[in-house]
Structure 1
Amino acid sequence: MKDMPTAAAIMPPEPRDYHGVNWAGFRTLYLREIRRFWKVGTQTLAAPVVTALLYMMVFVVAAQGARTPVHGVAFATFVAPGLIMMQILNNAFSNSSSSLLQAKMNGLTGDFLTPPLTPIEQVAAFALGAATRGVVVGAVTWLAILPFAHLPIAHLWAVLYFGVGAAMILGMLGVMAGLWAEKFDHMSAVTNFIIMPMTFLSGTFYLVERLPEPFRSASHYNPFFYLIDGFRYGFIGHAEGSLGAGVGMTAGLVVAFFFTCLWMFETGYKLKT
């Protein structure tokens, strides 16, 4: 009888109590998101670069000499920042949206709901993971485009602010879409009817001021216009729209989307049903 374990000896260990931020859990979830896209680099890194180069071939190289300078710079220099931003937007959105939708469809949401992670840590990990993919793809695209377009940096702060801001905005938009969607058809609808039209109708390949009304005025209500315009300003030193409005809108969307994602995780929106 004396060799039998006491009740205290067979009690399970107390759960670890995290005071403040669970940095270990946050870092693990963030690295998981990074490794997801890094593991399939051919699809997530090489493919966007090839797409951007094809756009350069169609819009710039094939029409070389036929395009007049825009704002005092070569047409290739004008288009290149828009192509880089387009890859940042699309890839940041794809990373977080596909991660959450696949987890829901495969019944793997417990992988990030069960660990002792707060909703803030979960939102931050998914958003930063998506933003990292967007920034990395943007940087690789930039390097690939350099042989075809001279890209001087006129204002480094604008390149960094709008590049990282756009990646964060689309990363959190991807979180919202991934939580809302119930199947891949829903995600395709968001991509094809919202993300892609807003990207192409934001002045990526043309001057918005040359559009006829009401399309010219409507373009100034497109958030992507200010992201691309501000990002392009960082390279060529000229902005079509209000730079102050772009700076404020970018910060406002980051804050608004963060709290929306936070609410969705706190309430378990389409995660705990």
Structure 2
Amino acid sequence: MDGLQAIGERRFGAVNWLGLATLASREVRRFLAVWTQTLAAPLVTAGLFLAVFSLAIGPARGPVMGVPFVNFLMPGILMMTVIQNAFANTSSSMVISKVQGNIVDTLMPPLSPLEMVLGYVAGGVARGVVVALAIGLVMVVVLGGGIAHPLWALCFVLLGATMMSLAGLAAGIFANKFDQMAAITNFVVTPLSFLSGTFYSVENLPPAMQTITHFNPVFYLIDGLRFGMIGQSDSTPWLGLAVCGATCAAVALLCWAMFRRGYRLKS
């Protein structure tokens, strides 16, 4: 046995559904156990962002993309909250397991590398979707109006939660200490989410910055959700779907390779 997958025929068939469901259930129950931190806190933070920008800029700012500035902000703040929470769920789970030394409890069961990736990501996606539903419901009730394209909005919420759950899993495997994880969050995840059109339209940026922004996959998540919620965007949602789908596939492959090799997991 290589520590990650038993050699020989698997007794559970092509997919260990029981093991996969157990791992996913553990990840979901882990964030539900501290719901005030994982669910209530993001809702309050998103509300504060919206309130501060509305009070500071809203009255003096005209419509953006043909909608009031507050309505323009809503999709960006929602997606920013989703990706930060999805990333935090998988990254914190992995780092805590490594620091506490109980990562072996995940590596020893007869789970393939792909099943472990799916199990961890399921928890991150669940947290991201729950946060999105809560924030979206409150924002729609408070600000009024409906959702222009519900299916597009749901699609990009799922893509955002999946992408950042995978990114958080890869970062958690790479990091061996909490300060390394904090550095990745502060110097990579936060800038990507803030500098991706969350609070502004990229059309207002200089040409060079517009080009750089279009290489940021988080921009397409926010822009796609904005199209789904208010019907306006800086780029076509089909391009965003392709970029985000390709990014998810690439990061999923990286996570699979890390689990398959036992990268920073066996020692």
Query: For this structure pair, what is the TM-score category when the shorter chain's length is used for normalisation?
Result: over 0.9
Task: State how far apart, in whole Å, the 2-side matches of 1:192 and 1:36 are.
Answer: 23
Aligned equivalent of 2:248: 254
Backbone CA RMSD of aligned residues: 1.5
Report the CA distance between 1:74 and its aligned residue: 1.2
| Alignment partners' CA distance in 2, 1:189 and 1:202 | 19
Alignment correspondent of 2:98: 104
**Does structure 2 conserve the Cα–Cα contact (< 8 Å) formed by 1:76 and 1:148?**
no
CA distance in 2, matches of 1:77, 1:252: 29
> Pick from 32, 40, 43: which aligns with 2:37?
43
1:119 is matched with which residue?
A: 113
Paired residue for 1:268? 262
Name the CA shift for 1:258/1:64 in 2 (closer, same or farther; >3 Å): closer
Between the aligned residues of both structures, percent identity stands at 44
Hey, what does 1:86 align to over in structure 2? 80
Contact 2:217–2:247 at 8 Å: present in 1 too? Answer: no
Contact 1:80–1:149 (CA<8 Å) still a contact in 2? no
Q: Say whether residues 1:242 and 2:236 are aligned partners.
A: yes
Looking at structure 1, the residues matched to 231 and 51 of structure 2 have their Cα atoms a distance apart, in angstroms, of: 25
TM-score with structure 1 length normalisation? 0.91
Displacement after TM superposition at 1:234 (Å): 0.3
Aligned residue type for 1:160: L
The amino acid that maps onto 1:116 is: P
- The residue that corresponds to 2:12 in the other structure is 18
| Structure of higher CA gyration radius | 1
Q: How big is the shift at 1:151?
A: 4.5
Is the 1:29–1:126 contact (alpha carbons within 8 Å) kept by the matching residues of 2?
A: yes
SS in 1 for 2:59: coil
Cα distance in 2, alignment partners of residues 145 and 103 from structure 1: 35
Quote the offset at 1:256 in angstroms. Answer: 1.1
- The more displaced of 46-55 and 210-219 is 210-219
TM-score after normalising by structure 2 = 0.93
Gaps (5+ residues) in structure 1? 1-14
1:247 deviation in Å? 1.0
Give a deviation string over 1:190-243, Cα, whole Å, max 9, x none. 111111101111011111110124222211111111110001100111110232
Query: How many Å apart are 1:157 and its aligned residue?
Result: 2.0
Q: Distance in 2 between matches of 1:147 and 1:51?
A: 17
Any gaps of 5 or more consecutive residues in structure 2? 1-8
Q: Which residue of 1 aligns with 2:48?
A: 54
Q: Residue 233 of structure 2 aligns to which amino acid in structure 1?
A: A
